[in-house]
Amino acid sequence: MRMKQLVAEIAAGLIGGYVGTKVMEPVEMKLYAMESAEARQQEDRVRPGPPYDIAAHRTTEVLGLHLDEQQLKTVGTIFFHYGLGMGWGALTAVFQRRTKLTPLFAGAISGTVMWVVVDEGMTPAFGFSAPDSAYPLVTHLRAFVGHLVFGVTAALAASILLWLGRQDARP
């Protein structure tokens, strides 16, 4: 029974991560549009491109794969953007269920950890973005809020799916 429960949590978390990613995108775009022109210009000036596109390019290069620009964009979007979100969503769902935290609290913790580890840590460390210090503070704040939205949405979506699954299991 525990393995079945874990598989259900992971599956719900993968879907929750997809939903969280889809909700996070317009939130971050709206916050970006609200920033000052100066902050947007500074960010655009130092940003080498979408991190997931850069990750796809570097990874396929290391693997010896030769993909055209459209294929690279597809790999970046599927594996590094949605794949990361879905994987983190699965971790979020398992974390939330195992700790018995509310989805809101577990999602806020998960989103914050994702922001620190991935956005502020791995992405610049691997060269998928400019160094953190090159960006204006508002860029980091926008990303933080976006990741909070991601985490909470992913946890809530996964919890709802698991709850619905339990409702179907009742006689």
pLDDT digits (tens, 9 = 90+) for 42-99: 999 999 999 999 999 999 999 999 999 999 999 999 999 999 999 999 999 999 999 9
pLDDT score, position 169 = 59
Computed over every residue of the chain, the mean pLDDT equals 95
CB 159 within 8 A of CB 103: yes
| Cβ(17)–Cβ(90) below 8 Å | yes
Give the tokens for residue 44. Answer: 């655009």
- Per-residue pLDDT tens digits for 113-132: 999 999 999 999 999 999 99
Taking the domains of the chain in order of start, what are their residue ranges? 11-49+81-166
Q: Please check the confidence at residue 171 and state whether its pLDDT lies above 60.
A: no
Report the pLDDT value the prediction gives residue 5, as an integer from 0 to 100.
92
Q: Take residue 61 and report the two structure tokens written for it.
A: 């290069």
Instruction: Kindly state the tokens that stand for 23.
Output: 């909700």
Query: What DSSP character marks residue 24?
Result: H
When pLDDT is cut at 50, 70 and 90, the band that residue 8 belongs to is very high
Return the H-helix or E-strand segment holding 3: helix 2-34
User: Above 90 in pLDDT, residue 168?
Assistant: no
Q: Annotate the chain with DSSP letters as a single string.
A: -HHHHHHHHHHHHHHHHHHHHHHHHHHHHHHHHHS-HHHHHHHHHH--S-HHHHHHHHHHHHTT----HHHHHHHIIIIIIIHHHHHHHHHHHHHHHHHT--HHHHHHHHHHHHIIIIIIIIHHHTTSS--GGGS-HHHHHHHHHHHHHHHHHHHHHHHHHHHHHHHHH--
